[in-house]
Amino acid sequence: MVGRLAPPAQSVHAVEGAARLVIRGAVFFNRDGVLQRDLTVLALRACAADAAARGEPPLHVLDAMAGGGVRALRYALEVEGIGLVVANDADELAVRCIRESAALSGCDDPSRLRIERTDACELMLARPAHFAAICLDPFGSCAHLLPAAVRALRSGGVLFASCTDLETLSGLHAGACAQRYNVRPLPHAPCARELALRTLLASVSAAAGALGRTATPLLSVAVDFFVRVIVRVDDARGAGGALDAAVGSGRAGDGRADDGARGGRLGDGVAPLLVRVCAGCGTHATQRLGAHASAGFAIGGAAACSVCGTPGAGGDLRVSAWGGPYWGCLLYTSDAADDSLR
């Protein structure tokens, strides 16, 4: 049999924002992800403006798993105040596509856009406290990338992290959720999307806490098939002051359900939340780890629902169940959300 050369990879041309793209073969490009990319551009503009106002140098940004390069190109082209964007991907074809797209978009200056090909975790671990912003947007979960990303951010840097494994985050695959995020999920809870965000934020905070750092959510969204969190990471000694005033007092709380509205950061002593949901009426009760037990909350399921009277049933998820630990503070910072949307 006479062998034949493989046909060239099929290419697709696309335009998004200021970026002109060449996508070949199986290189990842999700057209439906434009909303989260738009949000990231807006948030980066706010971060860059804030850095300029404080007299800091232009932002050094990493797109750790760049795929077809749409995020990195849009950041470089649409955000004033960015000094350098690093577009990294481990796939050779993806890197070729990024180079072609950069040339097509007029963004092939290596002092503006640097293209690298390496493992995302290896790159981040090799550059501790280096980047002002890091974007994590893998297919599925970003949980395995969080420790390296938090390490690679400078103090005051911002992490943009997405997950598309919503079925796992929402508790439909309880074992996978427990293994991946170290959380006992609450499948079919009425507030499943919010709990998905709080699950991811708990993982970010745990990764930061292991390095003696604090995590403060600036913006959190759950839309369609993805959740996206934008989180500021600070060294523990450098965090506080105006940030405390904006986010909350940081006290431990007494376990009441409204404690989460007061804000705060885990690094300041605000404990994670356990949540108990009544399958009869959907009412939820919360309990902070390390605080006195609140009325209506019982891990063993002995307490009946204070609203409809449905009895607790221990581990029977059909009647009543508890889940967590979840992030127990605000999902956003008002000033950051306002600045991004202004």
Could you give the angle at which helices 34-53 and 334-341 cross, rounded to 10 degrees? 110
Give residue for tokens 């059909």.
318
The alpha carbon of residue 28 and the mean position of all alpha carbons in its chain are separated, in whole angstroms, by 19
Q: What is the pLDDT of residues 133-164, one digit of tens each?
A: 999 999 999 999 999 999 999 999 999 999 99
What are the two backbone dihedrals, phi and then psi, of residue 244, each rounded to the nearest 5 degrees? -60, -40
- pLDDT value for 13: 87
Q: What is the pLDDT of residues 65-83, one digit of tens each?
A: 999 999 999 999 999 999 9
Q: What is the pLDDT of residues 113-140, one digit of tens each?
A: 999 999 999 999 999 999 999 999 999 9
Confirm if 95 and 24 have CB atoms less than 8 A apart: no
Could you say which DSSP state residue 210 is in?
H
Can you tell me the mean pLDDT for 250-267?
Answer: 35
Whether omega for the bond prior to residue 325 falls within 30 degrees of 0, making it cis, is yes
Q: Is the pLDDT of residue 251 over 70?
A: no
- pLDDT value for 6: 37
Q: What is the pLDDT of residues 5-37, one digit of tens each?
A: 334 456 778 999 999 999 998 898 888 889 999
d(CA 215, CA 208): 6
d(CA 15, CA 120): 26
SS3 content of the chain, % helix, strand, coil (to 5): 35, 25, 40
Confirm if 287 and 273 have CB atoms less than 8 A apart: yes
Helix (H/G/I), strand (E/B), else coil: 188: coil
Predicted model pTM: 0.84
Averaged pLDDT score across all residues of the chain: 82
d(CA 27, CA 66): 10
Which of 58-62, 93-97, 112-116, 185-189 has the least mean pLDDT? 185-189
- Residue 218 CB partners (closer than 8 Å, separation 6+): 43, 158, 230, 231, 232, 332, 333, 336, 337, 340
d(CA 334, CA 62): 25
Q: What is the DSSP string of 55-115?
A: TPPPEEEEETT-TTSHHHHHHHHH-TTEEEEEEE-S-HHHHHHHHHHHHHTT---TTTEEE
Q: Is the pLDDT of residue 300 over 60?
A: no
Q: What is the pLDDT of residues 169-210, one digit of tens each?
A: 988 899 999 999 999 998 888 888 999 999 999 999 999 999
d(CA 129, CA 318): 46
Question: Token pair for residue 54?
Answer: 């404080």
Of residues 84, 233, 69, the one with CA closest to residue 149: 233
User: What is the dihedral sign for C-alpha 174, 179, 180, 183?
Assistant: positive
Confirm if 156 and 178 have CB atoms less than 8 A apart: no
Q: Is the pLDDT of residue 253 over 80?
A: no
Which of 38-52, 91-105, 270-284, 314-328 has the least mean pLDDT? 314-328
Burial of 333 (C-beta count, 10 Å sphere; 0-12/13-18/19+): buried
